[in-house]
Structures are given as structure tokens and as C-alpha cells.
Structure 1
Amino acid sequence: MANITRDQLDVLAARLKKVEGYLHIDERRALAEELERKSGEPGFWDDAEAARATMAKLARAKEDVAGIGAARDKLDDAQAAFELGEETGDDELLGEAEASAASLEHDLSELELSSWFTGEFDHGDAIVSITPGQGGLEAQDWCSMLLHMYLRYCERRAWKATINDAPAAEAIGIDRATITVSGKNAYGMLRAEQGVHRLVRISPTDAKKRRQTTFAGVEVLPVLPDDIEVDIDPGDVRVDVYHASGPGGQGVNTTDSAVRVTHLPTGIVVTCQNERSQIQNKATCMQILRSKLYELEVQKREEALDELRGPKREIGFGNQIRSYVLYPYQMVKDLRTGQETGNVDSVLEDGDLDPFVAAYHRWVVGGRKPVEVEDEE
């Protein structure tokens, strides 16, 4: 028998109305119409860069309008099926109402999350870097586990993830990882992951099977649009090439195609060995360097740590944003929001991060109110 009530449908209707308000859907609809008109004007494509930016705004506005329209249709379908099913006692119709309501609830969660992305780069692509912290060689293994988790998360959300750099460590795991993620709201979603991640488990390399605590840092930066200017003096950049050590195809592994770019004034180092040529790897390095230097300038202008990166802290004890405990019990817990799950495989193996990402953004919208959680040892 279907488990759906009129009150549940009323709650979904109220949520939908709120989301329409959050997204300013009437304004989005008017914006879509205006941008559609502008895109049809003679000479629109004379400035290709500006035209592409306009078309991206048009696509987002249309997507928001279409999303609300689809949600409204599902609500209407659920309400109609429920009314008729309740009147006739038809369990099949009530089942249809329940299925439509469940689908609508998922869509509303996505629309609510999207409505919170108001930052300049939230709707764009992201650069994710993973760095080993305290924990010795096992921190490198932890980096490889996090890389797997984020790649699976990208698959779940149908994002494109490109591994720019992930050289294998001498013993286990990887020395570091940098990936570029392309997809809807990629930066807005992934900035929830910025910070120190802590792993507690039985050491796989310890013959005495003792418990090990390991740390890794995750940095998330936006991929800057082409119209954002970042001046880089060629004289301030040193480019080194070397033999690629990671995966990337036969062409990569048989030539000195890997590139390391060092920005001399700041000491920022960016590496890439994913592409098949030095030219492509250098272009990727320069893209990442632009984002890092832009962030640095934002910090200088505001004379404080900006929200793109969050507080810089040691990648070790006392600074973690999330703990992944595999022993003596199993739990993944976010120490900012209190979000937790006992199904660690769903997170680490399958990349089920949406509940943690959504909880983070609710926490931010709610004013980052402290959450009382007990840290694990």
C-alpha cells in the first residue's frame, strides 16, 4: 500500500513556492527572454568571448526556469493522482502519487541547493588539490582514497573530471593530486570539501595492526573565466619539464612531457602530466596558476583570509573538517555541520557526498552556527 498523505503534498507545495522565491523565477524568466533577444541581434558574435558569457548566462536562466516548470508539473501530477486515488481507493494511483512526490522531493533538494549559490564563480568549474598531511607514508594512501572518492562523486553528478597530476608515491598511494572538475555548480558544490580530512583506521602497513590517524588537505579553487584578468609576467615564471611518472597514455610515458611551473615571486608551484604534450600541460599549469594568484590577490585586497580558500591551517590534529573512522567503529562525521553516516563505503567507495555538501551549505546559509559534536579518538 502506498505511503503518501495530503500533508506531505502540502509540504512539498510550500517548499516549491519557497524555491521559486529563492530563485526569483519571474526575474530569471524575464532575463532568459532578454538574453534570447540579445543573442539574436546582428553582430552578437563579433565579440566571441562576450557572446559565450552571455550564452552561458542564458543557459543557466533557462535551466532554472525549466527546473521549476518540471517541478510544478510533478506536483500537479502527484496531487491529481492522490485526489483520484483517494476518491476511488485505487492503490495504483496512490503509488503513482507517491513516486511523483519522491521524485519532486529530490528535484526540490537540487533546486534549493542551487539557489544558495550566489558567488561569482559558484556555477562554474573547479580545481581540486589533495595534499598529504600528518600520518607519514599512510597520508599518501589517504590522498589516493580521497582522489577515488571525488572521482566517484563526479561520476554520480555526471561531471567531467580530468586528473591533471597524481604522481605515485614511492611506497603507497600518491604524492599529491590535482583534478579539474567541469559541470553544473561544480565549484559551488565542491567548496564544501575545502579543509582538512582525517582518517582513523587499522594501519595496513603495520604488522602489529595498530590504529593509525592520518590527515590530508583539500583545496578547492574556481576555474577563472577568460574575462578575469590576472597579469603574469613571463619573467616571473620558471618552466621545467620532466619525465611523466603517472598514467596518461603511451605518448606521455615515453617523453619528457610533464611540466612544472614555478611562480618565483610567490613560490607557488603547479605541475601537470596528464596531457600528451608539453604545450598542453603548460597551458593547464598556467590555468591553475591563474586561479591561485587570483585567490592570493583577493586575500591581499581584503586583508583577511577569503572565502574561496578558507582558513589556512596545519594539515593535522585539531584542524579537521571531517573525520572518516573505520576502526573501532565505522562513521563519517562532518565536524562543522554534525552530518554523519555509518555507511562509510557509500562515501569513500561510491562518492555519496551530497548529504554532506547540502548540510554544509545549509550551515553556511544559517550563519555558520556552532554544532556540538564529539570528536573521535
Structure 2
Amino acid sequence: MFDKLDDILMRLEEVLNQLSEPDVAADAAKFQKLMKEQAELQPIADAYKDYKTQKQTIEESLMLLEEESDEEMREMLKEELSDAKKRVEELEQELKVLLLPKDPNDDKNVIVEFRAGAGGDEAALFTAEICRMYIKYAESRGWKTELTSADENGIGGFKDATLLINGAGAYSRMKYESGTHRVQRVPETESGGRIHTSTMTVAIMPEVDDVEVQIDPKDYKFDVFRASGNGGQCVNTTDSAVRLTHFPSGIVISCQDEKSQLKNKDKALKILRARLYDLEQQKQHDEMAELRKSQVGTGDRSEKIRTYNFPQGRVTDHRIKLTLYKLDAIMNGDLDEIIDSLIAADQAAKLSSMQEEA
């Protein structure tokens, strides 16, 4: 590990030297690439420098303790030694996590697909609420959102919907949300006051560019139609909505913007690329079943990941057995405690897996 950390310090110095060169600053693409590398290496380098400082403090404190006879000074040195040892342990764990293989998709934007499951109108209403929950969460992190399509059921629910989330590190946090979400509550349509259980599914996909997933124009076609639903004054008056059909996969995607057919075509292709990339990723997950042992809920779409129990005001994440009694706050986008816990569990599982392999 320490050889790797020394290499990282050397590489960071090289990157910083290159960034100061005038010809690099003039090359926007190269400059951006080096800046990104610096951003990735800097936290590791800072933690390692702190680690080396603390190790030096331990050595010096031990030497001074051997020489010091004054009891008050000895107590101060012992306290300093204890603090440094504790910090070294923390930094060792932090460095192990920082050195875990990075998911190449972590920095990407996200495409979220929602689909109502069992429960009829109640499932559709819950689907719309979960969509709103993620929009609120994205807003809390300063990410931009765009609802590109929503098949409404007439009473405010969504049979299905697609949401684009643009923001730094969006995928790194949202990727744990794929799976089946379950709600337990008394539906507004229930006259007898009985608690019903309904479900909906969330699919989280990283946005990919046309270099990563190339699509032959011969393999798809666009149909245009008149947009429906709420929107600007041009909605419902122009054929701006598009339907994209991809022949090899059978995927069909609908998009409707305010009035721009071109924008809708671009978005439909963006979603198609993400879907095709996701299909390939799912195939790899299935072929490497062992991989799931070192991951927390980022592979299986059929997995029941979370229950939202309204009568008890609780939310339970079944993967990490975490229960929180703050359902209202969570439904309003307060997801950080759940997602931070999922990230910590995922890192712990990966570290454990690496130690077993070693």
C-alpha cells in the first residue's frame, strides 16, 4: 500500500508541474484532464502526508519520553502520543478506502427510470412521490433535474417516468437506489381504512456519450407526435414530441420538451445509450455473480431494497438493516443518512473482499 502511496505523491507532483507549464494551460482538453487527475489524487496525497506526520510525531514522542523525567511533561507527551496513534489508525482506514478501485461512472450524470409495480393507482401515486423525493434530493445537492417523460394516470400518479439528473458525482450517490421500493399505507381510495402494500421500481443508469456506446442510425427510427400534458403554450400545438424505436433491442423511448423536437431527439438518444450501456452492465453482473458479494445493492433490479411505512413513520433499508423514523423528511429529499450508510457498507464489504483475496 505504501509503495502505491509514494507513487501517488510522485505522480501528483508531476501533474502540478505540468499544470504550471504555459503550453498545457493553452490546451483546454489536456488542462482539464490534468485538473481532474489532480482532484482525484489530492485527497489521497493529503491523507498520506498527514499519516507520515503523525508517524513522525509518534517516533519523536517515544524518544522524548525516554529522556524526559518531569512528570507533567511526560503526561503531555503521553497524551500527544495517544492522539497520534489514534489518528494513525483512522488514517490507515481512510487510505484503504481512498485506494479502493474507483467506479469509472461515479462522476457521471444520471438517468433515472421509474415504473409503477403492484398496487394499481396507489402504486402510480407512490411512483410520483418517489420521483419528487429524488428531485428534492438533487436540489439539496445543487444538481439540476429534468423530467423528460411521465405517463400520468389522471389522478397525479405516474405509471412510468424518466428523470435526468446533472451534477458532479451524481452517479456515485444515486447508484444505490436501483431496485424495488415498497410502500405500506392506507390509500386515499381505500374506504375501509386497511393498510395496503404497493411497489414501484427505480433504475439508475449513468449517462454515457456516443464514444462509449455507438449506435448505428440504421438501427433506430424516430416518430413524431403532439405532446400532451402540462407545459408551455406551444405544447399540444406542435408535433414536438418524439418516439424512438431501437430495432435490435426493442427499446422504445418517448420524450417531450416544451417545443423543441431536436432537443427531444437528443434526449431520447441519450436515454437509449444509457439503457444499452446498462443492459451490458447487467449482463456482466450476471456473468460475475461473485461481484455482488462485495457490493451493496447496485446490481439486481428485482431486489426489494426499501420499505416506506407511513402508519409507523419509518423507512427501512433492507440491504443494511437500517431503520429511520423520519419518513416525512426522507420523502422530502433528506436521503443523505441512508446513502452515506450504504456507501460505508459498500466500502466495508469491498475492503473485506480484498482482504480475503489477499
Whether the TM-score (by the shorter chain) exceeds 0.5 is yes
For 1:112 and 1:249, locate their aligned partners in 2 and report how far apart those are by CA, in whole Å. 51
Q: How does 1:1-377 map to 2 (within 5 A)?
A: 31=11, 33-38=13-18, 40=21, 42=23, 52-61=32-41, 64=43, 118-225=102-209, 228-274=211-257, 276-300=259-283, 304=287, 310-313=299-302, 319-327=303-311, 329-349=312-332, 351-367=333-349
Contact 2:176 2:298 (C-alpha < 8 Å) held by counterparts: no
Gap change, CA 1:255 and 1:167, over 3 Å in 2:
farther
Deviates more, 1:298-307 or 1:213-222: 298-307
For 1:57 and 1:225, locate their aligned partners in 2 and report how far apart those are by CA, in whole Å. 20
Contact 2:9 2:45 (C-alpha < 8 Å) held by counterparts: no
Instruction: Give the superposition deviation at 1:220.
Output: 0.4
Deviates more, 1:274-283 or 1:34-43: 34-43
Amino acid across the alignment from 1:330:
G
For 2:233 and 2:189, locate their aligned partners in 1 and report how far apart those are by CA, in whole Å. 32
Deviates more, 1:253-262 or 1:48-57: 48-57
Gap change, CA 1:216 and 1:28, over 3 Å in 2:
farther
For 1:30 and 1:301, locate their aligned partners in 2 and report how far apart those are by CA, in whole Å. 35
Q: Which has the higher helix share?
A: 2
Give the unaligned 5+ runs of structure 1.
Answer: 1-20, 73-109, 314-318, 370-377
User: Does the residue aligned with 2:131 lie in a helix, a strand or coil?
Assistant: helix
For 2:204 and 2:182, locate their aligned partners in 1 and report how far apart those are by CA, in whole Å. 17
Contact 2:146 2:165 (C-alpha < 8 Å) held by counterparts: yes
Instruction: Give the superposition deviation at 1:210.
Output: 2.2
Instruction: Give the superposition deviation at 1:113.
Output: 8.9
Instruction: Give the superposition deviation at 1:133.
Output: 0.6
Gap change, CA 1:164 and 1:294, over 3 Å in 2:
same
Q: Determine what percentage of the aligned residue pairs are the same residue.
A: 33
Contact 1:165 1:271 (C-alpha < 8 Å) held by counterparts: yes
Instruction: Give the superposition deviation at 1:28.
Output: 6.3
Instruction: Give the superposition deviation at 1:279.
Output: 0.7
Contact 1:248 1:273 (C-alpha < 8 Å) held by counterparts: no
For 2:250 and 2:257, locate their aligned partners in 1 and report how far apart those are by CA, in whole Å. 22
Instruction: Give the superposition deviation at 1:149.
Output: 0.4
Amino acid across the alignment from 2:338:
F
For 1:213 and 1:229, locate their aligned partners in 2 and report how far apart those are by CA, in whole Å. 40
Gap change, CA 1:255 and 1:114, over 3 Å in 2:
farther
Instruction: Give the superposition deviation at 1:245.
Output: 2.2
For 1:309 and 1:165, locate their aligned partners in 2 and report how far apart those are by CA, in whole Å. 24
Contact 1:168 1:245 (C-alpha < 8 Å) held by counterparts: no
Which residue number in structure 2 is paired with residue 5 of structure 1? none
For 1:203 and 1:217, locate their aligned partners in 2 and report how far apart those are by CA, in whole Å. 19
User: Does the residue aligned with 2:120 lie in a helix, a strand or coil?
Assistant: coil
Gap change, CA 1:346 and 1:303, over 3 Å in 2:
closer
User: Does the residue aligned with 1:175 lie in a helix, a strand or coil?
Assistant: strand
Contact 1:244 1:273 (C-alpha < 8 Å) held by counterparts: yes
Amino acid across the alignment from 1:188:
S
Q: CA RMSD in A?
A: 3.5
For 1:111 and 1:174, locate their aligned partners in 2 and report how far apart those are by CA, in whole Å. 44
Count of aligned residue pairs for this structure pair: 300
Contact 2:209 2:273 (C-alpha < 8 Å) held by counterparts: no
Gap change, CA 1:151 and 1:301, over 3 Å in 2:
closer
User: Does the residue aligned with 2:253 lie in a helix, a strand or coil?
Assistant: strand
For 2:247 and 2:149, locate their aligned partners in 1 and report how far apart those are by CA, in whole Å. 21
Gap change, CA 1:282 and 1:25, over 3 Å in 2:
farther
For 1:259 and 1:66, locate their aligned partners in 2 and report how far apart those are by CA, in whole Å. 49
Give the unaligned 5+ runs of structure 2.
Answer: 52-93, 352-358
Instruction: Give the superposition deviation at 1:336.
Output: 0.5
Gap change, CA 1:366 and 1:301, over 3 Å in 2:
closer
**What TM-score results when the alignment is normalised by the length of structure 1?**
0.68
For 2:147 and 2:348, locate their aligned partners in 1 and report how far apart those are by CA, in whole Å. 34
**What TM-score results when the alignment is normalised by the length of structure 2?**
0.72
Instruction: Give the superposition deviation at 1:168.
Output: 2.3
Gap change, CA 1:112 and 1:305, over 3 Å in 2:
closer
